[in-house]
Structure 1
Amino acid sequence: MSYRDFIRDPGRDCAVVAHRGAWHGAPENSLAAIQRAIDLGIDIVELDIRQSADGVLFLMHDATLSRMAGLDREAESCTMAELRSLRLRQGNGGEHQEVTDQRIPTLDEALELIRGRIFADLDLKDRSLFPQVAAAARRLDAADHIDLKTEIATQTDLDWVRAQDIDGIAFMAMARFTAENIQDKLALMAPLAPFMAEIRFDQLDTIAANRDHFRAAGMALWKNTLDQANSGGWTDTTALQDPDRIWGRLVDAGISCIQTDQPEALKTYLKGRRQ
């Protein structure tokens, strides 16, 4: 099954997205974190992509190597050989975390691992890498297992995406919807026909009241519940204390993909809702 087909399946449950991999027990953005997500039966893994000084695409969230590898240096100033010489810290890194045997993976290695096993949301830290990432996915026969995404707020954003060579790759729009702008935003996105939107919103009622419009546009809805400011109070910390208040309300409003740093807990919660 392709990523698009999975997302469009009307009978599927809410999809669980493991942010930077299932990193409780493995370094984030590592092959081990991807494998752990696969082993847990997670639907989608989110991965961060950068480019090395010698042009190799690799996985790393931060601009510097301090948190995950203990080196005070810009990640993209290193060659891939230099990056591969480092060992990643456990979990989400920091000085308190032990050093593991995991190395910084290339995008090629990640694509070979995910292909046919799990879907991947690729968060490019420089969106100009769209064509290179798409080419790598096509070369490794993983094009139907990934998405590429960027903010769509203006006609300029739309025109930029349309100019990229991403044929065969699922595109996810990132956007903020409010009661005042929702129809204009949907009209703006229409030429791209995104299979999904990573959304922020003024209030959840805006999304719930317009679910038929999203459905008519063929656009599934993705919401982050990460412990970050842009989650708008819809956080993992609150969800762990009261999952109905966060995850349950999102699902009831029509959200069908949730990205979390607690994928095991979300998977368990969703299974309980079905019983």
Structure 2
Amino acid sequence: MNYIEYIANPHRQCAIVAHGGLWNEAPENSLLSIRRAMEAGYNVVEIDEKVPSLRDVFELTCNRIFIHLDIKHRHVIPEVLDYAQKMGIEKQVDFWADLKTELDLAWIKANITTHNVPFIARTHLEHDWREQAKLALELKPLICEASFRDLSQVDAMKQQFHDAGITLWVNTIHSVASPGFTDSAALEDPDKVWGRLLRAGFSAI
């Protein structure tokens, strides 16, 4: 499996990310919840610090599903990246970090993107959104996970992101979603939430 090729495919459908696996059928981040997500046909599974062990997760998912590694503290990313390479799974997992400042940009370039692995830049468009978008466009990551105050901020930039080859990803989990764009709201009116996000240029939810 090749995460970069999958994300870059212009003909793919929107990637659906199972946050913590299929946690309504098994404990969040458990091997069972990850297995259930694979069986259900999800494209990507998100995992964070509650996983049993990286080795168990990598062995279970090898060549079966893409993995979004939500690593809470970026200083451990180089160690995790090295371990993924040793297990031969580095083309199947992504690495994620905040991109808010020039210092963040320099750290990401020095520690992640030089390894040619899938990278997600966490881009905050809520306030100084033009400056935040400028940082992302300078880095040109595979993916930007963008949050926003108003969807028009994304709409104004989506063509520039597209031209730079950057895929837009959005988190709709209630605790971190942009205002009004939650999965719970989408269950009431899918087009008002998921539909609007797709039309705004997002292709991973």
Q: Aligned partners of 1:255 and 1:145: how far apart in 2?
A: 21
**1:154 corresponds to which residue?**
101
**2:118 corresponds to which residue?**
170
Q: Aligned partners of 1:178 and 1:30: how far apart in 2?
A: 33
How many Å apart are 1:229 and its aligned residue?
4.9
**1:17 corresponds to which residue?**
17
1:39 aligns with 2:42: no
**1:208 corresponds to which residue?**
155
Comparing 244-253 and 173-182, the one that deviates more: 173-182
Secondary structure of the 1:134 match is helix
**2:194 corresponds to which residue?**
247
How many Å apart are 1:221 and its aligned residue?
0.6
Secondary structure of the 1:231 match is coil
Deviations for 1:173-196, whole angstroms, at most 9, x for unmatched residues? Answer: 0011259633x3333234532100
Gap change, CA 1:11 and 1:38, over 3 Å in 2: same
Q: Name the structure with the higher strand share.
A: 1
**1:194 corresponds to which residue?**
141
Q: Aligned partners of 2:77 and 2:127: how far apart in 1?
A: 31
Among 115, 137, 144, the residue aligned to 2:84 = 137
Deviations for 1:28-65, whole angstroms, at most 9, x for unmatched residues? Answer: 1011111111101100000003xxxxxxxxxx1xxxxx
Secondary structure of the 1:197 match is strand
1:122 aligns with 2:69: yes
Gap change, CA 1:15 and 1:114, over 3 Å in 2: same
Gap change, CA 1:242 and 1:190, over 3 Å in 2: closer
Secondary structure of the 2:122 match is strand
After TM superposition, the score normalised by the length of structure 2 is 0.93
Q: Aligned partners of 1:209 and 1:192: how far apart in 2?
A: 19
Give the residue type in structure 2 aligned to 1:175.
Answer: T
**1:185 corresponds to which residue?**
132
Give the residue type in structure 1 aligned to 2:117.
Answer: I
Deviations for 1:132-164, whole angstroms, at most 9, x for unmatched residues? Answer: 110111111110011111110100111111221
How many Å apart are 1:16 and its aligned residue?
0.3
- Count of residue pairs the alignment pairs up: 204
Secondary structure of the 1:15 match is coil
Give the residue type in structure 1 aligned to 2:10.
Answer: P
Q: Aligned partners of 2:202 and 2:95: how far apart in 1?
A: 19
Give me the identity figure in percent.
38
Gap change, CA 1:254 and 1:35, over 3 Å in 2: same
1:107 aligns with 2:18: no
The unaligned stretches of length 5 or more in structure 1 are 50-59, 61-103, 259-275
Deviations for 1:219-244, whole angstroms, at most 9, x for unmatched residues? Answer: 10111111115432211111111111
The unaligned stretches of length 5 or more in structure 2 are none
After TM superposition, the score normalised by the length of structure 1 is 0.70
CA contact (8 A) 1:179 1:206 kept: no
Gap change, CA 1:146 and 1:229, over 3 Å in 2: closer
RMSD value, Cα: 1.7
